[in-house]
Each structure stands twice: as C-alpha cells, then as structure tokens.
Chains A and B, each alone.
Chain A
Amino acid sequence: MKACMIIGKANVGKTLFAVNFAGYLGVSRLDIDFTTPNGETYRRTLTQKEAVEELTSPNPHHTLGLQRLEIQMPGLKGKKRFALLDTSGLTDGIPEESMVRRAMAQTLAQVREAAVILHLIDASSVGKEGAVEAVGPVDWQVAQFGGMRTGYAILANKMDLPEAAAGLVQIRREFPGHVILPISALLKTGFAEVKQFVWRHL
C-alpha cells in the first residue's frame, strides 16, 4: 500500500494534523497501528477526540515511533487506499536520548519509500531563535531531499496564529520552487488543497 508520510521537526503539529486530516477524510474511528522505537507493534482504536487528547501534546517528542493509519480517501472517481504515517519529530542536532534517535531512524527508514511526503513547518515560529520548532538545518535538508522527487509538499502549519502570516512569506522566500500549502491543523483549514495534492500523487 502506498504511504503518505508526515514529517517535520518536533512540536510543529504533525500528530494533530494526522488525526484531524484523517477526520477530514471521513475517518471517525481511528484504528492506529503503533510501532515503538524498539520495534514492538500494537493496535489501538480511538475516537477523534480521544486521539487528539492522548496523542498530541504541547511538549516535543510526545510521538515516539510510527503511528500508521489506513485511510480510504474518497475522490471524484472512486476511492484510493493509503497509509497515513505520523512520525517522530526531527531535530537539528544529535539528540541525547537513544530512544529519540532510534525513533528518527525509523522515520528515515520509511521516507524513501513514501509516495507522498508532507513536510510540516510551524509558520508561527519561523524566526523564533532557539525554539525547537523554528526552521533549521534539518528542514533545509528535508526540502532538498524532497526536491529530488515527486509528491513532496511543505505544509505551513499554525496559520491560525497571528505571527504565521509573516512566517508564510518567509517560508515561501526560503523554500523557493517547492509546493507550499498553508494550513491550520487545529482549525482544519487548507485541508482541501492537501487532499488534492495527496490524491494526485498516490
């Protein structure tokens, strides 16, 4: 099955996007397959609300490992089945905890195979120096990697926050030549464009 992978730095809103985007595509009960950094797998079934409450957090690295969700996406002509993969946050430097490093290796192991890569950037803290979610070297490298293939888009998240408008301008300037879609994972805005992009590349 083709995979749509959500990647990005820690705390940019990957999991909230995954859960709400799944909801937008019509999935109300989420059967999520978890793979821990140690390679153990288990499945949990959560409602939208439960998923938001349990899986998301304002603290970085709340998601460790892979969270996989199979989705049937309805389109104009029929449906497409794909796996939505939520991943552990990436860091600019080398993290100290081995669990975090292992979780990131898991992400990278999948990224080459993914049909679609959605690279989330926090538009509200582009220029916030020192913040874990601010745009950094790992974002540059992901974008360069994405630029060599099809199905890569940057999602400028947190457009509901006041600083995000200026951040979006800066993102467009700093990542020229890439597909950049402004969204708010929280308010579920911009999802139609994301769906269109994912549909086209599956």
Chain B
Amino acid sequence: MHNRNLAPMTVEEVLDWLEEGRVSPAEAFALFRTIGERVEIANSQPKETQEKLKDVLAELDGLIGLTEVKQLVREIQAFVQIQKRRTEERLVTEPLVLHTIFRGNPGTGKTTVARILGRMFRHMGVLPRGHLVEVERADLVGEYIGHTAQKTREQIRKALGGILFIDEAYSLARGGEKDFGKEAIDTLVKAMEDHKQEFILILAGYTEEMNFFLQSNPGLRSRFPIHIDFPDYNAQELLAIAELMLEKRQYRLSEGARRRLALLIQRGLRNDSYTFGNARTVRNWIELAIRRQAVRLVQKPGEVTREDLMYIEAEDFGEGL
C-alpha cells in the first residue's frame, strides 16, 4: 500500500505508479476519482472553489422563513449521506431517487432552493456538476411531430450531471391528449429510466395545478418521491427579505421607508395573495426604489453625503407604487 501523503497528484503519475507496480488497478481508479474531483473543483467558478457543504447549508439556513423546506432539505441530506455510507459498507441501500415536486406560488423561493440543492448534491458527490438548467413549457414543447422529443432531449442533455428544473410544469398537461406536452412528459419519463442517477428532475408550479397534474399522470407521480411545499411568505417575512436584499446591496431603509414598505406589503397580500408574487414583487419594489433614490439624489441641491447614498426614504417607494 502506498503512502497516502505521497499519493500521486496527476494522471501521469498514477499511470507511472501502476506500471511500476506501486498501486493496483483498483487503487489507480480510486486515485483517478480523487484527481478528477480535484480538477473539477479547480475548473468550476473561482468563488466556489473554497465552498464546502457547510457553506451551502449555511446559505440555506440564511433564507428567511421556509422552516419546513429547510427541515426537509436536511432530511434529504441526511438520507443521502447515510445511503452513501451504507454503499461503502456494501449494505443494501435504498435506490437514491431524488426527483422532486416543488409546489408553491411564484416568488416563494423555489428556484433559489433548487440552486442550493444542486450545489449540495455536488458537494455530496451525488451529482458531478450540480448546475441548474431552468426551463419552461416553451423550451420543451415543439411545433411538429418529433420536434418535442428532440427539444426535450436537448434540455435533458444540458442538465446531465445537474438538475433539470421545469417551472410551471403542469402546463405540459394542458391541451389534452393531442397536445405535444404529453410527448415531452413521455420523453422525460424515458430519460429518467435511461439516465438514472445522471440528473435530478424538479417539477415546479402552483400547488393546485401541480396536484391536478400529478393526479392526471399517475405514472409520473410514482417517480417523484419527494414533495416540497413552499408556503407564501407572511408580511413580516417579506419585510425581512426586503431588508436582507437591501443590506446585500449596502442600502438601508429609513424609518419612514420601512413603514411605507410594510404598508405596501400588507396591501399586496390583502388584495391578491394568489398573484402577489411574493418575494419577487418585493425585489422589484426594491429595485424601483433604488432607481428613484438615485434620481432624487441627482436632483438634490447641495452636497450628497454617504448617509444620503445609503438610505432609502419613504418617497422612493412612490405614492401608490
């Protein structure tokens, strides 16, 4: 057995060691894997080079609200970890099927959590790349016979090694039997068999629509063992999200601005909680307020202080917005 501390660092060194009889072929393959992982990490974006699993989980914990989602993600993480350990010990393992349904209104954090899952699975060695390919009906469904399968397969190919995230997935079932959406579903189901363990499929959409979609496609339902519900944020959580977004951009809310924003959120929730858009709407408000603050400061007579540059005032949210 070779000295672990002096393990070969490159493919060429591994091959030399193999030829010299210092490692067995089995050990050489194991070394290939560790070198491969090292190369892969080195090739990925620099900001992720130092990232570890605990950083990813810390980011998950940093999300506002989503208590049940976080708990479920932790459960999945523990399950995967234990199954991997059991494989190492050659114990019987549950098949690692991680295809997931995300149910919830727009702006409730589905895409954000999907991205975190991708990175989490990459760090756990479940997915080699862990990237997220985000698509919707138009990216999958074609215009003539055969076109859909081709388009869908292309997206699956792009997602290999990572996550294929289909937003508003229920729309694949609209249009009934003759619609090409069905062809997309069939292609997806086939890919889930052919590329087992090579990618994870996440279907996302409104709760009601997704429930109906799964009921009308029982074959599909059985292939998604994990269901995650994304509840709407309450007013308090939305305000916290807004403040976090501003903090990341190095802005702050004045007392008046905070009251105005809280009012706007309450009004939004009261008027139409279904299409309110949750965090996404809040983000749009914030971005609008930042632009308005800029206009206000440019027009301001006299000197603009550091304080001025940081604070968002009530008037930046406009009257009715």
Instruction: Indicate with 1 or 0, residue by residue over B49-84, a CB within 8 angstroms of chain A CB atoms.
Output: 000000000000000000000000000000000000
Task: Report the count of interface residues on B (CB-CB < 8 A).
Answer: 36
Pairwise interchain contact A138-B19, C-beta atoms closer than 8 A: no
Contacts of B33 in A (CB 8 A): 141, 144-145, 148
**Chain A interface category by residue count:** 20 to 34
The smallest C-beta distance from A138 to any residue of chain B, in angstroms, reads 4
The listed residue (B93, B95, B197) touching A147 by CB distance below 8 A is B197
Q: Whose C-beta in chain A lies nearest to the C-beta of B21?
A: A94
Interface residues of B in 1-59 (CB under 8 A from A): 11, 14-16, 18-30, 32-33, 36-37
Pairwise interchain contact B197-A108, C-beta atoms closer than 8 A: no
The listed residue (B96, B161, B196) touching A179 by CB distance below 8 A is B196
Pairwise interchain contact B25-A104, C-beta atoms closer than 8 A: yes
Pairwise interchain contact B18-A177, C-beta atoms closer than 8 A: no
Pairwise interchain contact A112-B32, C-beta atoms closer than 8 A: yes
Pairwise interchain contact A109-B15, C-beta atoms closer than 8 A: yes
Q: Is A128 engaged at the interface, CB distance under 8 Å to the other chain?
A: no
Instruction: Indicate with 1 or 0, residue by residue over B171-211, a CB within 8 angstroms of chain A CB atoms.
Output: 00000000000000000000000111110000000000000
Pairwise interchain contact A145-B128, C-beta atoms closer than 8 A: no
Pairwise interchain contact A105-B18, C-beta atoms closer than 8 A: yes
Pairwise interchain contact A144-B29, C-beta atoms closer than 8 A: yes
Interface residues of A in 91-149 (CB under 8 A from B): 91-95, 98, 101-102, 104-105, 108-109, 111-112, 136-138, 140-142, 144-145, 147-149
Q: Is A44 engaged at the interface, CB distance under 8 Å to the other chain?
A: no
Contacts of B28 in A (CB 8 A): 104, 108
Q: Whose C-beta in chain A lies nearest to the C-beta of B23?
A: A94
Contacts of B161 in A (CB 8 A): 150
Pairwise interchain contact B19-A102, C-beta atoms closer than 8 A: yes
Pairwise interchain contact B95-A177, C-beta atoms closer than 8 A: yes
Pairwise interchain contact A176-B87, C-beta atoms closer than 8 A: yes
Q: Whose C-beta in chain A lies nearest to the C-beta of B14?
A: A108
Q: How far is the CA of A139 from the CA of B165 in the complex (A)?
A: 34
Q: Whose C-beta in chain A lies nearest to the C-beta of B195?
A: A150
Q: Which of B22, B30, B160 has the most CB of A within 10 A?
A: B30
Contacts of B304 in A (CB 8 A): none
Pairwise interchain contact B96-A173, C-beta atoms closer than 8 A: no
Pairwise interchain contact A145-B25, C-beta atoms closer than 8 A: no
Q: How far is the CA of A94 from the CA of B24 in the complex (A)?
A: 5
The smallest C-beta distance from A140 to any residue of chain B, in angstroms, reads 7
Pairwise interchain contact B198-A150, C-beta atoms closer than 8 A: yes
Pairwise interchain contact A105-B32, C-beta atoms closer than 8 A: no
Pairwise interchain contact A150-B160, C-beta atoms closer than 8 A: yes
Contacts of B25 in A (CB 8 A): 90-92, 104, 108, 138, 141
Pairwise interchain contact A101-B36, C-beta atoms closer than 8 A: no
Q: Is B306 engaged at the interface, CB distance under 8 Å to the other chain?
A: no
Q: Whose C-beta in chain A lies nearest to the C-beta of B193?
A: A179
The listed residue (B29, B92, B93) touching A138 by CB distance below 8 A is B29
Q: Is B248 engaged at the interface, CB distance under 8 Å to the other chain?
A: no
A-B residue pairs in contact (CB < 8 Å), sample of 17: A101-B18, A102-B19, A104-B18, A104-B28, A108-B28, A109-B11, A109-B15, A111-B32, A141-B30, A144-B33, A148-B36, A148-B125, A148-B128, A176-B93, A177-B95, A179-B194, A200-B194
Beyond A104-B25, A142-B29, 12 extra complex contacts between A and B, CB < 8 Å: A92-B25, A94-B23, A98-B21, A105-B19, A108-B15, A111-B32, A112-B36, A141-B29, A145-B33, A150-B195, A150-B198, A177-B95
Give 5 nearest A-B pairs by CB, closest first: A141-B29, A138-B26, A137-B26, A105-B19, A141-B26
